[in-house]
RNA sequence: UGGGGGAUAGUUUAGCGGUAAAACUCCCGGCUCUGACCCGGGCAUCCUUGGUUCGAAUCCAGGUCCCCCAGCCA
């Protein structure tokens, strides 16, 4: 034992107020084993904001030697679907977390919750209200005015019990009655103005089918579900802060088997994107994107399809920290973490997004040769592959300028550059079409620079990527940009008016080195000097499709923009 | 004079009475067979006004600003 902190949580996980609270609870003996839970409602796909919560809940459980449950908060059958349950399960697992045996559903507890509702009625702290939704809203008061008691508030226990049982039996239509907690209609906290505990919903539930026609509200289900599972630290986002008194009220009035505590942290916001399930659902429903897993979506599924590694998402969650202050994280932070992870592991390849033909005039016609190319500059274990060189090649259009400005290092008339892992070439001619556009470059190569080094020690200002014409494979490459044009799309006006019309750019006629055709390597690779890309599921053996995960940092673009 | 919460660099966090730390962004420079990576350097009236103290981002009091709540959503 080196120090007194030897048994503390790994500092690699960072420290935050949640972990401090847990540590204090452990130290004080208030809890023996930490039990947390991630409680998604299956009414949509998970997004990166959920990932923050997942990493927090599962991370904390692991660090303190406890466990984390995956519990579906399926209390509203009108919005929830089995397909979402399946997608969420897949996403949490993909993120790298394991709930073991502890997969639960709030619906597993419907019978118990119902019993507890009767218990509250028996204690005289819950009643059946016959008011319509409109009447309830009207009598609830406002933020500054107290509400009024319902005319049905003082029904007898027997009457309430009878009515509640008949609600369960299906005697009443949706909205006809509701079970309410009897707390305080004049409370400054709106959640305490006799909140609804059960409502009538004649709807088929993904798991319980038509067994029920009354369903508990979030407020009545969540805390009790936590108690049933022995959750010690029920971590949620700030907007539930006002619900904590109600969370506690329920637990204090019920014979629950354990006493969980709720803690709130600030939800994740990221610039230029939206993390609201309502908005994301609309984007999908109205076809602004191609489904929940569209690579432009901030969903886990979207990020995965885009080629973002789970490790990067976990790292991102760790770096942004956990606090109680409202915040908006820079999109650049996410991109940086993604690049960092991919830079470490992604194999390097060459691909030309916007091809410009190059003919090496002094290279023999009808002949090609192979040259070795390193797969990863910092990881020799990734080995070497063979690439083909020949008389006809393609380079990136952006790597040539007919009248280059002083800061432009790449190819131009009379200039020499290095073809990565190839030869030095010099541009000796430019071929244009009738419109005056450059369609081909005539170049010469220096045979002595084979592999990329000049025996005479001369230097070139740039090394550019390329592919050999006869062996290159055509590909479609999809470039993604931010979905919205504003840092805070929801700030003003209609959010959908701020959709970025250029969020998806499809490049046809790209040329990639043949090693990439062996693809359906689902892994993300780096196209040298361009960015990180991964094959899209739309790919087939005769049609290669790649998604750009994120571009490389581009200092030249800045220089160019500033010039 | 409804209730609840929050304010530390452009951004996100650390700091828990001892003289502001890290990451991202940005700027300057170096290195380089990726204008990438990497390596140097630069960038803070700790919302504000008072108070307590030898000493305050930390404690106290008063302001200011921001966020959440009026679903039978979660």
DSSP string, A267-292: PP-BTT----HHHHHHHHHTTSSSST
Whether A267 is a known active-site residue: answer yes
CA→C1' distance for A478 and B34 (Å):
21
Residue nearest the C1' of B22 (CA based)? A319
Closest CA to A198 of A216, A223, A183: A216
pLDDT number for residue A364: 96
Q: Per residue in A526-543, pLDDT tens? A: 999 999 999 999 998 889
Contacts of residue A562, Cβ cutoff 8 Å, sequence gap at least 6: none
Nucleotide nearest A200 (Cα, C1'): B72
Q: Is A167 helix (H, G, I), strand (E, B) or coil?
A: helix
Q: What is the DSSP letter of A311?
A: H
Nucleotide nearest A216 (Cα, C1'): B72
pLDDT number for residue A7: 31
Nucleotide nearest A189 (Cα, C1'): B3
Ranges of chain A whose pLDDT falls below 50 = 1-11
Residues A98, A101, A103, A107: what is their CA dihedral angle, to the nearest 10 degrees?
A: -170
Whether A494 is a known active-site residue: answer no
Q: Angle CA(A284)–CA(A289)–CA(A290) in degrees, nearest 5?
A: 85
pLDDT number for residue A311: 98
Q: Per residue in A292-341, pLDDT tens? A: 999 999 999 999 999 999 999 999 999 999 999 999 999 999 999 999 99
Nucleotide nearest A177 (Cα, C1'): B72
Residue nearest the C1' of B11 (CA based)? A330
Nucleotides of strand B under 7 angstroms from a protein beta carbon: 2-8, 10-16, 23-27, 33-38, 66-74
Whether A354 is a known active-site residue: answer no
Residue nearest the C1' of B67 (CA based)? A326
pLDDT number for residue A563: 64
CA→C1' distance for A259 and B56 (Å):
39
Q: What are the start-end ranges of the E strands in A351-397?
A: 351-352, 355-360, 368-374, 384-390, 392-396
What is the C-alpha separation between A487 and A43, in angstroms, rounded? 26
CA→C1' distance for A34 and B60 (Å):
36
This model of the complex carries an ipTM of 0.97
């Amino acid at each position: 034992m080196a120090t007194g902190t030897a048994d503390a949580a790994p500092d690699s996980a960072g420290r935050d107020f949640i972990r401090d609270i847990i540590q204090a609870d452990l130290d004080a003996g208030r809890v023996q084993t930490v039990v947390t839970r991630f409680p998604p409602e299956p009414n949509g796909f998970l997004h990166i904001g959920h990932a923050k919560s997942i990493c927090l809940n599962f991370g904390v459980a692991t660090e303190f030697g406890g466990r984390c449950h995956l519990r579906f908060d399926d209390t509203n059958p009108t919005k929830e679907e089995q397909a979402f349950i399946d997608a969420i399960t897949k996403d949490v697992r993909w993120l790298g977390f394991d709930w073991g045996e502890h997969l639960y559903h709030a619906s597993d507890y419907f019978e118990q919750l119902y019993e507890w509702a009767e218990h509250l009625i028996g204690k005289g702290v819950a009643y059946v209200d016959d008011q319509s939704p409109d009447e309830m809203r009207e009598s609830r008061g406002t933020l500054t005015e107290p509400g009024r008691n319902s005319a049905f508030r003082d029904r007898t226990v027997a009457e309430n019990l009878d009515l509640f049982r008949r609600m369960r039996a299906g005697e009443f239509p949706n909205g006809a009655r509701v079970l309410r907690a009897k707390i305080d209609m004049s409370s400054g906290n709106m959640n305490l103005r006799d909140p609804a505990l059960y409502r009538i919903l004649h709807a088929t539930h993904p798991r319980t089918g038509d067994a029920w026609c009354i369903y508990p509200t979030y407020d009545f289900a969540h805390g009790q579900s936590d108690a049933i599972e022995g959750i010690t630290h029920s971590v949620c986002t700030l907007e539930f802060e006002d619900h904590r008194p109600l969370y506690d009220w329920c637990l204090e009035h019920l014979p629950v088997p354990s006493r969980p505590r709720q803690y709130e942290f600030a939800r994740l916001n990221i610039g230029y994107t939206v993390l609201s399930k309502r908005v994301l659902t609309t984007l999908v429903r109205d076809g602004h994107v191609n489904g929940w897993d569209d690579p432009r979506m901030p969903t886990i599924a979207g990020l995965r399809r885009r080629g973002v590694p789970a490790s990067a998402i976990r790292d991102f969650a760790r770096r942004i920290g956990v606090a109680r202050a409202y915040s908006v994280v820079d999109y650049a932070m996410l991109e940086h973490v993604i690049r960092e992870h991919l830079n470490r592991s992604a194999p390097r390849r060459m691909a030309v997004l916007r091809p410009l033909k190059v003919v090496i005039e002094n290279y023999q016609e009808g002949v090609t040769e192979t040259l070795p190319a390193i797969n990863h500059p910092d990881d020799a274990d990734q080995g070497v592959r063979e690439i083909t060189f020949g008389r006809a090649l393609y380079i990136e259009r952006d790597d040539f300028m007919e009248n280059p400005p002083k800061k432009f290092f790449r190819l131009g008339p009379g200039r020499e550059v290095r073809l990565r892992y190839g030869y030095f070439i010099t541009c000796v001619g430019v071929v244009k079409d009738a419109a005056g556009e450059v369609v081909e470059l005539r170049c010469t190569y220096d045979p002595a620079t084979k592999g990329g080094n000049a025996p005479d020690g001369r230097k070139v200002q740039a090394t550019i990527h390329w592919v050999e014409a006869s062996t290159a494979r055509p590909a479609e490459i999809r470039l993604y940009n931010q979905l919205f044009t504003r840092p805070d799309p929801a700030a003003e006006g209609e959010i959908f008016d701020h959709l970025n019309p250029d969020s998806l750019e499809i490049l046809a006629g790209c040329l990639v080195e043949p090693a990439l055709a062996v693809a359906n390597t689902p892994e993300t690779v780096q196209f040298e000097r361009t960015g990180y890309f991964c094959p899209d599921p739309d790919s087939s053996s005769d049609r290669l499709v790649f998604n750009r995960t994120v571009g490389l940092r581009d200092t030249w673009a800045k220089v160019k923009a500033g010039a």
